[in-house]
Structure 1
């Protein structure tokens, strides 16, 4: 899967459109609100991850390879 932040933006706007449909029953609105809460929760994690990657890139741009030993080895174990 090769999603981009722009895809996330599209998903968020699509959900906003679903929430604004006037023909929905109370039960359907409740279901869409639950879906929205789940989407927002995942979106927050994605945005947080992107922010972390940007901070790491800025550190590397400012300090070059000298900073690499100080960055955590995310996704790798010491064992």
Structure 2
């Protein structure tokens, strides 16, 4: 899942080397924290949050078989 997030985000930003995804999990949830360069933040969020919403939809769909809740957060 971490690789999926990195692949999608690196295609959208100008500085793909600065994209990092960290994972934290407990018994019910898996939380992914996405960090990008400050200049690329707007490209990830998109107008009215449409891009990040689409990325979250793909990640949630890919994680349906894990039987855990998945959260994707952006680190500012």
TM-score bracket, normalised by the shorter chain, equals 0.3 to 0.5
| TM-score in terms of structure 2 length | 0.34
Which has the larger strand fraction? 2
Larger radius of gyration: 1
